[in-house]
């Protein structure tokens, strides 16, 4: 079983054991800390469900993983650097695969494989006709000029072009990528096909067949669950709650706006430059304007500077991690003061961190449902592109809320029936849908 280091990697199937040490070539290529976390989480759920062993083994590994390397010419014309890109399609059983593309300096195959697996569960929990995928390029987006980012995007797209498409695999934005990057992917793909193919990506600008309300969807979807989750935790109206948000990018910003609209006080936010605290509530409109102008929270005067570590330990009602993975761990979980955690980021809580939160009775709305608003509106966008028929903002927002609330209610009923935390309940629901579909499809040949 993956997860316990070198020796445990299914040596009988995958390699030769020499003096109890598996040769290094037998390491599965996507092994990483994050991947092990994803498998550990899956194993717990599979065991609890009594999942068929063959199905479980298939779901533990990605169905398709692509690694590419390509040359990237800097604006400084003489500099050519080799970059690495990844695309992992975890499961092709449910329909085309779907998942974001991230640009980050430390992105790797293991991280992308773990996130692709999470996407499979997320789509199944919500009931979308997709398997999970994820992609990335190992590059620091903050050091790229616009022209450089465009060159990286177009070449990466060209490298994976045979594996993506409206019926194959549909990328979307993730950390370090945005609507403009999706527009370049769509254009590169369309140039190669000889005609316009908007449905190859979601999260595009509306001018290219993007959906209105996609940009806000993940943050808005997360906060749409706040009244239900707060009620589940035993509270009343969410009005007046103190909310702390880690990350002020796409997800964090729109979560902050939606929380403010709900009557909450957003008392702290952060980005890669550090955090900002204001006990009486940060002015989100003003800080968003500052970030649009300066590209960072640094220099904003409407609060005190704090560190990204301190933000997790602030006194508040609700904590929303909306930046990177692995931030709530055994090192800080016992100092979290919030009684409700709503995960906007993917994988923000490690398995050990999660155990501590559970012991302390802190309710966690897990990523697989918390941030599913993004892929849900991406699904709407894909459907609209395929039909060339576009919906109004109110239709989209209404359907998003309905789907999110229904999924949350379903997950909650599993949690109550099985006496398990929301994360386990959500995964049980997602894994069951996928396992049923796999069993019905059978084994080829």
Residues that bind ligand NAD (CB under 6 A): 173-176, 218, 247-252, 270-272, 308, 322-324, 344-346, 371, 374
The least distance separating ligand NAD from the CB of residue 370, rounded to whole angstroms, comes to 9
Q: Active site includes 330?
A: no
CA 74 to chain centre: 29
Q: Where are the alpha helices (DSSP H) in 50-132?
A: 53-59, 109-126
Tokens of 259: 């929380």
What CA–CA distance (Å, rounded) separates 354 from 86? 28
Q: Which is nearer to ligand NAD, 171 or 209 (CB)?
A: 171
Q: Is the dihedral of CA 205, 211, 214, 220 positive or negative?
A: positive
Nearer to ligand NAD, 149 or 438 (CB): 149
Q: Identify the active-site residue in 134, 149, 204, 438.
A: 134
Residue nearest ligand NAD (C-beta atom): 249
Q: What is the largest CA-CA distance in the chain?
A: 65
Q: Are strands 131-138 and 97-104 parallel, antiparallel or unpaired?
A: parallel
- Residue 219 vs 421, nearer CB to ligand NAD: 219
* Residues in contact with 27: Cβ distance below 8 Å, sequence separation at least 6, in sequence order: 6, 9
The CA–CA distances, whole Å, from 340 to 21, 54, 109, 374 equal 44, 37, 32, 21
Distance separating alpha carbons of residues 266 and 337, to the nearest angstrom: 15
Task: Name which of 120 and 346 has its Cβ closer to ligand NAD.
Answer: 346
Tell the smallest beta-carbon distance from residue 133 to ligand NAD (Å): 13
Residue 434 Cβ vs ligand NAD, minimum distance, rounded to whole Å:
19
Task: State the nearest-atom distance from the C-beta of 199 to ligand NAD, in Å.
Answer: 18
Considering beta carbons, is residue 22 or 269 the nearer one to ligand NAD? Answer: 269
Q: How near is the Cβ of 319 to ligand NAD at its closest, in Å?
A: 14
Q: Which residues are catalytic?
A: 134
């Amino acid at each position: 079983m993956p997860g316990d280091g070198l020796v445990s990697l299914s040596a009988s199937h995958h390699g030769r054991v020499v003096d109890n040490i598996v040769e290094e070539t037998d390491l599965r290529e996507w092994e990483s800390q994050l991947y092990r976390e994803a498998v550990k989480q899956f194993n717990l759920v599979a065991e609890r469900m009594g999942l068929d062993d063959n199905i479980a083994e298939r779901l533990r590994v990605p169905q398709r993983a692509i690694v590419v390397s390509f040359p990237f010419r800097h604006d400084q014309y003489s500099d050519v650097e080799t970059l690495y890109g990844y695309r992992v399609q975890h499961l092709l059983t449910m329909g085309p695969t779907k998942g974001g593309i991230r640009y980050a300096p430390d992105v790797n195959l293991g991280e992308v494989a773990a996130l692709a697996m999470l996407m499979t569960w997320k789509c199944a929990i919500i009931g979308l006709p997709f398997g999970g995928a994820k992609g990335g390029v190992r590059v620091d987006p903050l050091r790229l000029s616009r022209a450089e980012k465009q060159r990286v995007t177009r070449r990466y797209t060209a490298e994976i072009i045979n594996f993506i498409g409206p019926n194959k695999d549909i990328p979307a934005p993730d950390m370090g990528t945005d609507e403009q990057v999706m527009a370049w992917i769509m254009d590169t793909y369309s140039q190669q096909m000889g005609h316009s193919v908007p449905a190859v990506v979601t999260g595009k600008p509306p001018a290219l067949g993007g959906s209105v309300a996609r940009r806000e969807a993940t943050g808005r979807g997360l906060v749409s669950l706040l009244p239900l989750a707060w009620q589940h935790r035993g509270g009343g109206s969410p009005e007046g709650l103190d909310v702390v948000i880690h990350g002020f990018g796409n997800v964090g910003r729109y979560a902050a706006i939606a929380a403010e609209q709900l009557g909450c006080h957003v008392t702290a936010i952060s980005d890669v430059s550090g955090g900002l605290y204001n006990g009486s509530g940060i002015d989100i409109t003003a800080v968003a304007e500052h970030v649009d102008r300066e590209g960072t929270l640094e220099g904003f005067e409407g609060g005190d500077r704090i560190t990204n570590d301190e933000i997790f330990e602030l006194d508040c009602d609700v904590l929303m991690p909306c930046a990177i993975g692995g931030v709530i761990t055994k090192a800080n979980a016992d100092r979290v003061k919030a009684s409700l955690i709503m995960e906007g980021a993917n994988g923000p809580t490690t398995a050990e961190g999660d155990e501590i939160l559970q012991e302390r009775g802190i309710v966690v709305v897990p990523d697989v449902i918390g941030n599913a608003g993004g892929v849900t509106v991406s699904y709407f966008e894909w459907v609209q592109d395929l039909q060339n028929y576009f919906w109004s903002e109110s239709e989209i927002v209404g359907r998003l809320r309905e789907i999110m609330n229904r999924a949350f209610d379903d997950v909650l009923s599993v949690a109550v029936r099985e006496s398990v935390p929301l994360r386990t309940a959500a995964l049980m629901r997602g894994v069951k849908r996928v396992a049923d579909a796999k069993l019905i499809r059978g084994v080829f040949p």
